[in-house]
Amino acid sequence: MPDYRRCWTPGGTYFFTVALWRRHGNDLLVRHVDALREAVRAVKARHPFVIHGWVVLPDHLHCVLELPAEDADFALRWRLIKMTFSKRIASGESLSSSRTRRKERGIWQRRYWEHRIRDEADLARHLDYLHYNPVKHGHVERVAEWPYSSFHRYVRQGILPRDWAGEATPR
């Protein structure tokens, strides 16, 4: 089997979508957002990366991460973030026989979506996408209303105005 890690770009910047195993009606990520933040901080301390953007929704998250110049192993980071988060919250979720055999928690989807950012325009598109995602999913009417987003950091730094993306289409 080929080693796909050779295709990964050391120092690359990547957009990720990471989702819960059972998404619909699940608010686990916002209910335990502090545990998720702690897991990310702990992994980042041991395996550095730069967070360019992040949004946590009830059942999935999106982020743009940049790896160190000599490092391409984003899979390690995601495995550790998922594992650390899972250990920080109480068990009790229902498990499939496959997950039981593998001694897995029934929290995360095994896979995630990953896209290597190609240029500044691609980065801007993905940051806009993740910041607007809570509006897209109907959680809020304005981007600024969603608390679990790097959008607020961008506003504090003067990069985006508080009213960025304006009003949502009425529901």
By annotation, the residues acting in catalysis are 148
**Using an 8 Å Cβ cutoff, are 93 and 104 in contact?**
no
Element housing 86 (H / E): helix 74-88
Query: What is the spatial distance between Cα 40 and Cα 85, in angstroms, rounded to a whole number?
Result: 8
**Using an 8 Å Cβ cutoff, are 55 and 130 in contact?**
yes
Query: What is the spatial distance between Cα 89 and Cα 70, in angstroms, rounded to a whole number?
Result: 33
